[in-house]
Every structure is written in C-alpha cells, then in structure tokens.
Chains A and B, each alone.
Chain A
Amino acid sequence: MNRQRKTMKSPSFQALALAATLLIPASMTAQVDRTKAPPAGPAPEVHLGEHKSITLANGMRVIIVENHKIPIVSAQVRFDIPPIMQGDIAGYQDLVGELLTSGTARHTKEEIDELVDGLGARMNGSNDGIYASSLKKNFPQVMDLLYEVVSSANFPREEFEKAKTRALSQVSARADDPDQIAEVVGRALTYGKGYPYGEVTTEATLSKVNRDDLYQYYRYFFQPKQGYLVLVGDITAKEGEAMATKYFGTWKGAEVPVTKDEQGHDVVKDLGPIIPAGKQPPMPRDVRVAFVDRPGSAQSVIKVLFPVQLKPNDPMVLQAQVLNTILGGGVFNARLMQNLREDKGYTYGAYSSLDADRWCGAFSAGCSVRNNVTDSAATQIMDEIRNIRKAPVKADELALAKSYMAGSFARALEDPRTVARFALNTYLNDLPEDHYDTYLKKLETVTIADVQQAANRFLQSDSATILVVGDKEQVAKTLEGLSTTGVVLDFDINGDIVRIDPTEGATPAPAGMTAQDVLDAYIKAIGGSAAVGKVKDLKKEYTTSIQGMPATLVEYYKVPNNYAMEMKMGEMVLQKMTYDGTRGKMVGMGGEKELEDIELDELRANSYAFPELHYAEMEQLGRLMGIVDIEGKKAYRVNVKTLPGGQFDEYYDVTTGLKLRRKDYQSQEGGGYIQVITDYSDYTPEGGVLFPHTLHQGGGMDMTLTATSISVNKGIPGSVFSVE
C-alpha cells in the first residue's frame, strides 16, 4: 500500500494551504450549475494491496499485510474447523473463546487480563481462534501472550464454572430480546435442528456442558496443520515472518488420541464423536408461517428465511450478491427499503441477505414493524421476493447495485485487514487465486439476465418460512393467509413447536367428565359400539389433487390391525404402505424400505379402522383439555399421548359427538415439527357406521380428500397387507 503521506511538515503542502486560503474572497466564486449533479472525474484506479504468504514447517500458513498508516499491528490466529454437531451439550462451543484467555500453564486469568490491559491491547478468543491488536511498540509482548494462550490454555475449572453461570443467565435473558429470539429460532427453522447451524443452546443443554468438553475440543481442533496466522499493519514482512517463525514455527499442537465409532467418526475422550454437518437441510414444501409469542411487544420482528445452496466459490456468487443488493442488501435504494420504509413508512429499515457458505448458505429478509402492519409488511416482503424472480430488474437498478458494490469494494480496502481477509478467504473457501483481483472486472459484466437467473436459482420463495416474533394475540391471526396451509405454527423461543397451547382450552369441560367419555360419545354418534364391532374389513377410496394434478388414495383395514394404503397419480404409485400386524413397509418414489423404531410405531398407531377404541389400551389416552371453538362449533379438546414425547389433539363436537378435527405434530426431516390439521366433515353412513366423506388436511401438504367409495365387509385379500 501507499506509504507516502502528505503532512503539514511538508513545506509544499503548507504553501498549497496558504494558496487555498487566498482563494476565498467572494469575488473569486465561480458560478456552478446547481440544477444538475456535477459530472464525475476520471475513475480512480483501485489497488488491491499486497500480502505475503508463507507456510511454516508444521503446516501453519502465515499471511502478512504491511501497512504503516497507523502504528497498530493486529494478529489473528484462525483454525479451519468444519461445523460439527453439539447435540445435547449445545452451547459448549460458545464458551471456548472466553475460556481460551482464562488461564495457561504460566498465567492465571487475572494475570492475563492485567497483561492485556497493561499493554493497551485487545485480545478476543473465539471457538476457531483468537484476535489481538496493539500499538506496534507493545506488539512483541502481545505475540508472546497470544502464542502462550493458543498453545497452552488450560481451561481452569473455576473459570469455566463462572463462565457457564453467566451463559446460563444470558440464555434465560434471551426470552426478553425479540431480535435474539428471531435470530436463534430463525436459524433453527432455516437449517433444522439436525444441522450444526440450526442447533439451539438452552438452559438444559448448557447445564450438561463440562469443562472437559471445551478443553478437548480446543486440543483436538487447535492444530497447526489447519491453522492460519494473519499479521496486519505497522509491521514489515520480514519482521512478521521472524515473529511467526519464532512463536509458531516449532509448535506441534496437542496430541489427542482418537478412536472411531461405527460411522467412522473420530471419537475424542471426554468429548465424544466428532459429527460433521450432514447433507444440506431439505427445503420445506410450502410457505409456512412460524410465530413466537412475545406478549406486549411494541413491534413484530419479521424474517423470511430459507436455506440456499450457494458456496463461496460458486460461479454465480457475484450474480447472487448483485441480486441481493437490488433486493435489500444494504443500499438505501434497495427494493425492500424503498417499499417498506420510504413508500409505506412501515419500518425504520428493511434488509435482506443472501449468504454464501462453504457448508450451507442462507437467505434472510426482514424488518421490525408496528403490530398492525405486520401482515402487510410480510406480504410486501414476499411480493418483492416473488417479483424479482418474475420480472427482469431495471437497467438503472442494476447499474446502481454494481456501482455501489464496486464502491464498497474500494472503501473496504481502506482497512489493511481487508487485504488479509481476502487472502484468508481465498484459502479457506478454495477460491480461484485471482478471485479478488478480477472482482471489479467480473462485476462489470453482470447482466440483467444473470440477475434473473440468480433469482430463480436462489430465491426459493415457495419454500420460505415467515417467522414473526411479536404479540400473538394482536398479530398471529392476520398472518394465516400468508401460509400455504392457512395455519400459523407456534414456536417457543428455543425453536420448538408449541405442542400444547394453554390458552386454547377456553372453557372448562363439565366437572367429572373425562376424555374417555368424549370418545364413548363419539363411538355412539357414529353408530354405536355394536355396529362398529361388526366392521371386519374396510376399504376407503378418495380422490384428491396434488399440485393441481388429480390423485387417488385408497386405504385398507382388516381386524385386528392390518393396514395398507396406496396413493397414486394416474397409474404412477406415489406412496404405498403396508402393515401386517407386526411388520411395516413403505414404498415410495425412491424405492422401498422396511420400517423400524418410531416410523413403525407411527404406522401401528394408524393401523386401526377405529383408533379411538384403542387409545386407552395403548396407554395413549390423555386429558380432556376443555371446550374450544372450532369454526363456530363448540368442541371438546382431547389431548392424546402417542409415542415417546409425542402427542396430538382431537376435537369432538359437543352437540353431535362427531370428530371435527385432529391436530398432529409431525416431525420433519432435518428437525423441527410441522403442525398438520385434519378437518372431518360430510359424515354419511356406510354399513351402519358414519364415516366422514370430506377430509381437509393443512400443514405439511394442503389437500382435500373426497371419498368416492367406502366399503365395509366386502372382503380384502391378505396379500394386500403383505410386507414381503
């Protein structure tokens, strides 16, 4: 970088300044044309700045950026650690950074704090390294301490306990902060809790964290062969190289013995298996609305979220950034800002981000708005996302976005750490070596068509989760129309679906009445236990439509509990399930598999023609929760326990006794739950028993099933239920 600086000490500059002042008299003022913006001068050249890179004998890579503008030097140590699952001790990785500077073989935490502050330095640890900076004159001592911390932190138990208690306090305080709630729940919904980025730290998981978890993580991952040392600022390449070699040149890292588990993961003593991120989380099948209640909120925090398959070395990464700049990425003229703030006055600021990531990218768009425009604001955000997919962007929008990005690039280079960051990114993300050198040129070539292509590839608006953190009572109902299924899903602050809504049991059921009474009344209403008992086999045929295409569903039941179902579109079998009373099988588009564990249990629970008769014997019968209103009808709400930890709710008409609704909570691949609501209507008799002929299902997939035929005791061959 340029080391020449004009200062007042230069005589020529003083003369210049004098000359400048002499120009002041008003008579010297020339007329300028105020009616239009002045033309730009010739575009200045942008110099990227240089870095030096060496590799130490132990594999650690050193990046040095020399810049003498201010007498500050910074050092960053960074380890290339992939995201790994934290599981039931989620949150332990967040404590690693704090503990890193809390004691070494030579110094206590108190002594380290005194040293850092006494040097006027900053030193901040994280779970993948550490950053420090100071005046040049103090930097050798800072490096000394930095190396000591990286190579011999000892994670004292006492300091760990203190940090853990503070972290527990902070987790409990998360409930107060709508932005934090949106952040945490947003990640859980974007990636799913089965993905490292979607894991949620709770009081329960933090309580299980031990000092050894942190210490072993640190020992296992802080290794020179996956390490980088980045030195930036008032230091020469030669000085930097000498310093890097002196401290880290012979560093070996800890020796951590590992064993392997069945899946081939490294297992570290006291920490357990190192489980990396699995495949990218699945895209939701429809637009869902997730709500976290924060009673009394002055605003709703809105986020529109979905995961994105976009890695930093994707050839379309620049197009994606241009797209996001036009939509909502930082510029004031972005569509979200102009629409939601400058046109509608809904918010102080609306933004979007489209982040590339080596493991899993993500899209997020959102803002904070007053309660009574929450639905309008969410609608506008969704519209903007859909519109930018549908129609090409305007030429002047593209020009503005490109200029702005080029300007940001140049501005960022003011900080010498940017050059270092570029170098580090190039290594970490496996970027082409000239990625940043050619950035401005490549940016120049991005076209309107490129932007639209990026929009169609990355903005999966049909799989969006609209998350709102706000006052449920005032806001939630208005959002139903935004969901494909018409349902607003309730989540708690840890990103778990709220399974029991304590406010829903509006009025208590009559004293002494039980859930079994409600079920008995139901059996009576559909024909009585004698008529029901005569049903030996049952075949139900329905028509429906899936994404606009006609489809059929047939279900077979045979006493005691044989079950089969087949869903077809034309002649194509979409899904088939059979259960022979002990074993179950599923055949789908992707092949067939025998069901086990929870999936088998779920199938068994569905295998009865009249499952209501079996809740009690299956020890499922839960509680009568009270009387609620279901679309204008008074209904008993019965909560039924199912498989370990699971449950569903059923709603029985107080007047007719018939079942009106079932509310299920289905687990999703990649974690989280979807609330599936099934409404039953058009009860008509077949073989002496009333069956609902219209089933409307919302939640997972929105569909209406219409019964075309329900036949009782017509004989079903046993082969229908065969699992072989």
Chain B
Amino acid sequence: MRTIITLTACTMASITAMAQTRDIAYTEFDLPNGLHVILHEDHSTPIVAVGVMYHVGSKDEARDRRGFAHFFEHLLFEGSDNIGRGEYAKYVEKAGGVLNANTTGDRTYYYEVLPSNQLDLGLWLESERMLHAKVESKGIETQREVVKEERRQRYENQPYGSILPEVLKRAYTEHPYQWPTIGYMEDLNAATEKDYKKFYKTFYVPNNAVLVLAGDFNAEKATTQLTNYFGPIPKGGTIPRNKVVEPPLKGEVRDTVFDKIQLPAVVQAYRIPALGTPDFYAVDMLNRLLSNGNSSRLVKNVKDAEQKAVFVGSFSLPFEDPGLAIAFAVANMGVTPDSLEASMDRQFGRVRNEPIPPAELEKLKVQIETEHAMENGRMAGIANNLANAYTFLGGTDKVNTEVQQYLAVTADDLQRVARKYFVPENRVVLYYLPLNQKK
C-alpha cells in the first residue's frame, strides 16, 4: 500500500519565465486496492467531471479477439448487479449530466460530467462498473450490431476511411498495433461469455485504473465518498502485458488502395518512438513544423505555393509503445500521386538537410505554449489530461510540465529526428486511387 501526495506547484518556476500558462493544481493518492485517485478542485462552474481510465486497449487483445477492448467499452454501459439494462445513461441524463467513453490502442476512458450536487451519483456509477458490471445476452447481441454499424459508418462508408487500418496492418507485423481499435467482425462474432468474464476480471480492476475528479467539489468530502464507493472493490491480479517489440521495418513498404474517391491521396507513415520519450517530443514538434498553421512547411509549399494538394497534414500517433507519424495529403485536381508525393518528399528532405531557422523554432514554441493554455479550459478536458499524464507520461505532474519537454527541443534535435525517423526506409507509403483506375 502506498499513498502519494504530489506537489507540483513549485516545479515550474525555475525552468522558464516565458510560460504564461497557469498550473493545474491537484492532489493524488492510492486506495489500498491499488486504485489511483487524482482530485482537481475548481469552483468556477457548479459541475464536476468524473473520469476513470483503465489501462487496457486494443493492444491487450488476443490475436483472435481483435476489437474486443472497444466492444467491451460498449458493453460496460449495459448495467451492473444494481443497475438494469439501459438505466446507466438514464441515471446520468436524469441528473442533468452527460456521459461517454472511448478506447484507443492503449487505454479505455469513461467519464461523466454532472452538476456538482450529483458527484455521488458519478462515484456510484463508476464504482458499479468496476465492481460488478453485468451484461445480458440482449445487450451483447445489440451492441455487436451497433459496433458493426460504427465500423461501417467510420471506416467503410467514408472516403479515405480505411487509411488507419490499411496503414497499421503494413506498419506492424508483430505488435498488436497492427489491427485497428474497432477490430474485425469475425473476431467479435466469435467472442463468448467466457471471454467477457476473463477480460473484465483481468483488466477492469482498481489496480489497473485511475479515477479523476475535476470541478466543483470539496476534496475532503469527496475523498470520503469515493473511498466508500471504490474502497471495497477487490484488488485484481498482476496485469498481463503484451511485451512485443516490433522489429524495424525492412525497408520502405509501398502499396496502393482503391477506394470510392475522385481525388487520389498519398499517405506516408513513419515509425516513431513511444509517447513520453525525448525523441517523441522532438518528432511531435517536427510534425508541427510541417503542418501546424498556414505558414507550416507542408501547408505553405505543397498546398499553397505548389498547389499540389487540397489538404495536407502530418500528425503523431501518441502510442505507449513506438508509434507512427502519419503525413496525409489529398491531391488537387489533375495532380498525380507521384507528383504530390515528390512535393511532400521535398519538404521532408529540407528538414533533414537544412538547419531549422531559429525564428521558426520560436514560432513552434509559442504555438505549443498557446495550445497548452487552451487545453485546460474545461473540467472534462482537465480530467482526461490528468488521467493521461498519470497513465502514460510518467507522472501526473506532466500535465503541467510536459510543455517543458516540448520547449526543450532544439533546432538540432529537430534535424536529428528528421534524419533518424523521417527517412524512406522507415516508412509505409500508400497511394489511394479511384476505383476506376483499378486494372
């Protein structure tokens, strides 16, 4: 058993005087059953966000149960020993609140935002979900159909909707990141009651979760109540982790996907280091240099000056294990994918070969600083950021200090990571072409 109090307030001042951002104050501790708790008190609006992040995502799935973590997310709204099917959301909405959840490769996050006098309701609901969630066969069958429709709506019926699954399956051969979080229908169809029970018992346990409260509450009273609700939940076993290390790509992977589209697209996915590593921050900064704002390099050159694209962007997938940076461009009228890719490659070549001007680095820093200030405007966002910092960034204090890791990136770092990661032999390139070009 371990209790922690982290004091964050003083860590910032020494590092930089330029940051105009204000720190998120919080307390944190563990319950004896291993549940980590983070509290952020703010009385400016009479609402409270209640979030629980379980450290389980699609990378924890068995190879023949792809999509299970996300499917499970749906099922955990079905009820508990004390909550009937369909009542979970009713309690929240009747109280004037909202609720939702989402799943990634690494984690599953549930939350409610409630009027502040309904905090206990949020604690009860989330503790019921953790203690004894219950799923009936009607719920399983219905949600299976719902998830299939979610898959069709998001991936199959949207132009370019299959990009992520198509990239992942070529970018990873060993690691479970090779399948998308939504998974595959045949696996979900094959899932049995035994699978649900096992998954729930293994991952939905207090020692694999963090509970965050953010908003208008009294920390002392809230601690008593949350201890009452979550304290009795038994601790789970050691959490099994897929310790797969993906080997490096054996050279560039290139392929073509035919889709119901008119404008061709080019996707380049570069393998990058894991979230929270120093190089991750440099890579993420580099992505901003490439596509954050109209003066960024890809937007300014590929889209505007050369008019090769109607859209171009590059972003990092912030994965717990080594992830990907994806550059994506949709061709302007009459532009071939080859010519579009050449234009993109020129910009990647420039960051590898030419020093980054200091003014451009300064611009990135101001952008980072502004983003950091903006992301803490709402309780729901703060709760999510706190949970994320605790679970993935090496400590809750990162919610305030992560910005320093960005600001510490130098022009040399940018060039170094460009040369190390943004190179052809470390990427998957996909051309998206109209179906009628298929021979």
Are B142's CB and A342's CB within 8 A? yes
* Residue from A24, A45, A69, A410 in contact with B47 in the complex, judged by beta carbons closer than 8 Å: A410
* Interface of chain A residues 95 through 115 with chain B (CB within 8 A): 109-110, 113-114
Are B45's CB and A173's CB within 8 A? no
* Residue from B44, B229, B294 in contact with A2 in the complex, judged by beta carbons closer than 8 Å: B44
Query: Closest B-chain residue to A168, C-beta based?
Result: B333
* Residue from A7, A8, A43, A370 in contact with B152 in the complex, judged by beta carbons closer than 8 Å: A370
Query: Closest A-chain residue to B261, C-beta based?
Result: A176
- Does A137 sit at the interface, judged by CB under 8 A? yes
- Shortest Cβ distance from residue B225 to the other chain A in the assembled complex, whole angstroms: 8
- Shortest Cβ distance from residue A284 to the other chain B in the assembled complex, whole angstroms: 28
Which of A5, A19, A26, A70 counts the most B-chain CB atoms under 10 A from its CB? Answer: A70
Over the window 368-387 of chain B, the binary record of Cβ atoms lying under 8 Å from chain A Cβ atoms (1 yes, 0 no) is 11110110111100000000
Are A6's CB and B43's CB within 8 A? yes
Are A9's CB and B310's CB within 8 A? no
Are A134's CB and B5's CB within 8 A? no
Are B223's CB and A20's CB within 8 A? yes
- Does B410 sit at the interface, judged by CB under 8 A? no
Are B363's CB and A6's CB within 8 A? no
- Shortest Cβ distance from residue B50 to the other chain A in the assembled complex, whole angstroms: 13
- Does B76 sit at the interface, judged by CB under 8 A? no
Are A72's CB and B373's CB within 8 A? yes
* Interface of chain B residues 98 through 149 with chain A (CB within 8 A): 98-99, 113-121, 123-125, 127-128, 131, 141-149
Query: Closest B-chain residue to A32, C-beta based?
Result: B228
Residues of B within 8 A of A370 (CB): 148-149, 152
> Interface residues of A toward B: which range?
35 or more
Q: A1-B44, A177-B158 are in contact. Are A404 and B124 (CB under 8 A)?
A: no
Task: Report Cα–Cα, A71/B158, bound state, in Å.
Answer: 38
Over the window 65-99 of chain B, the binary record of Cβ atoms lying under 8 Å from chain A Cβ atoms (1 yes, 0 no) is 00000000000000000100010011101111111
Task: Report Cα–Cα, A198/B403, bound state, in Å.
Answer: 46
Are B146's CB and A403's CB within 8 A? no
Over the window 341-365 of chain A, the binary record of Cβ atoms lying under 8 Å from chain B Cβ atoms (1 yes, 0 no) is 1111111100000000000000000
- Does A333 sit at the interface, judged by CB under 8 A? yes
Which of A29, A45, A169, A301 counts the most B-chain CB atoms under 10 A from its CB? Answer: A169
Query: Which of B22-30, B51-59, B166-174, B268-276 faces chain A?
Result: B22-30
Are B374's CB and A72's CB within 8 A? yes
Q: A36-B82, A342-B142, A400-B94 are in contact. Are A114 and B295 (CB under 8 A)?
A: yes
Are B86's CB and A368's CB within 8 A? no
- Does A251 sit at the interface, judged by CB under 8 A? no
Are B98's CB and A411's CB within 8 A? yes
- Does A280 sit at the interface, judged by CB under 8 A? no
Task: Report Cα–Cα, A677/B206, bound state, in Å.
Answer: 66
Are A296's CB and B260's CB within 8 A? yes
* Interface of chain A residues 1 through 56 with chain B (CB within 8 A): 1-2, 4-9, 13-14, 16-21, 23-26, 28-32, 34-46
Query: Closest A-chain residue to B144, C-beta based?
Result: A345
- Does A116 sit at the interface, judged by CB under 8 A? yes
Are A21's CB and B5's CB within 8 A? yes
Q: A5-B44, A113-B294, A400-B94 are in contact. Are A29 and B29 (CB under 8 A)?
A: no
Residues of A within 8 A of B115 (CB): 40, 43-44, 407, 410
Are A165's CB and B3's CB within 8 A? no
- Does A119 sit at the interface, judged by CB under 8 A? yes
- Does B31 sit at the interface, judged by CB under 8 A? yes
Are B29's CB and A26's CB within 8 A? no
Over the window 245-263 of chain B, the binary record of Cβ atoms lying under 8 Å from chain A Cβ atoms (1 yes, 0 no) is 0000000000000001111
Task: Report Cα–Cα, A413/B300, bound state, in Å.
Answer: 37
Are B152's CB and A169's CB within 8 A? no
- Does A238 sit at the interface, judged by CB under 8 A? no
Are A299's CB and B149's CB within 8 A? yes
Residues of B within 8 A of A2 (CB): 43-44
* Interface of chain B residues 323 through 380 with chain A (CB within 8 A): 330-333, 359, 362-363, 366-371, 373-374, 376-379
- Does A456 sit at the interface, judged by CB under 8 A? no
Residues of B within 8 A of A41 (CB): 116-120
Residues of B within 8 A of A332 (CB): 89, 93, 99
- Does A178 sit at the interface, judged by CB under 8 A? yes
Query: Closest B-chain residue to A167, C-beta based?
Result: B310
- Does A259 sit at the interface, judged by CB under 8 A? no
Task: Report Cα–Cα, A9/B159, bound state, in Å.
Answer: 51
Are B124's CB and A37's CB within 8 A? yes
* Interface of chain B residues 289 through 309 with chain A (CB within 8 A): 292-296, 300, 303-304, 307
- Does A550 sit at the interface, judged by CB under 8 A? no
Are A414's CB and B45's CB within 8 A? yes
- Does A172 sit at the interface, judged by CB under 8 A? yes
* Residue from A29, A38, A45 in contact with B121 in the complex, judged by beta carbons closer than 8 Å: A38
Over the window 531-558 of chain A, the binary record of Cβ atoms lying under 8 Å from chain B Cβ atoms (1 yes, 0 no) is 0000000000000000000000000000
Residues of B within 8 A of A5 (CB): 25, 42-44
Residues of A within 8 A of B157 (CB): 178, 297-299, 301, 368
Are A414's CB and B379's CB within 8 A? yes
Are B93's CB and A134's CB within 8 A? no
Are B263's CB and A44's CB within 8 A? no
- Shortest Cβ distance from residue B244 to the other chain A in the assembled complex, whole angstroms: 31
- Shortest Cβ distance from residue A333 to the other chain B in the assembled complex, whole angstroms: 5
Task: Report Cα–Cα, A247/B254, bound state, in Å.
Answer: 54
Residues of B within 8 A of A620 (CB): none
Are B216's CB and A165's CB within 8 A? no
Q: A37-B121, A110-B300, A118-B363 are in contact. Are A410 and B332 (CB under 8 A)?
A: no
* Residue from A20, A119, A406, A415 in contact with B377 in the complex, judged by beta carbons closer than 8 Å: A415
- Shortest Cβ distance from residue B311 to the other chain A in the assembled complex, whole angstroms: 9
Task: Report Cα–Cα, A369/B148, bound state, in Å.
Answer: 10
Residues of A within 8 A of B231 (CB): 26, 29
- Does A117 sit at the interface, judged by CB under 8 A? yes
Q: A120-B370, A165-B307, A299-B157 are in contact. Are A18 and B5 (CB under 8 A)?
A: yes
Task: Report Cα–Cα, A121/B99, bound state, in Å.
Answer: 32
Query: Closest B-chain residue to A10, C-beta based?
Result: B25
Over the window 229-246 of chain B, the binary record of Cβ atoms lying under 8 Å from chain A Cβ atoms (1 yes, 0 no) is 101100000000000000
User: Given known contacts A344-B142, A404-B96, what 9 new A-B pairs fall within 8 Å (CB)?
Assistant: A6-B25, A20-B219, A31-B228, A70-B373, A138-B370, A162-B307, A407-B98, A411-B113, A414-B377
Interchain Cβ contacts under 8 Å between A and B, 22 examples: A9-B9, A17-B5, A17-B27, A29-B227, A32-B124, A40-B121, A70-B22, A71-B373, A72-B374, A113-B294, A116-B293, A117-B293, A120-B363, A120-B368, A133-B374, A134-B370, A135-B20, A138-B366, A296-B260, A347-B149, A370-B148, A370-B149
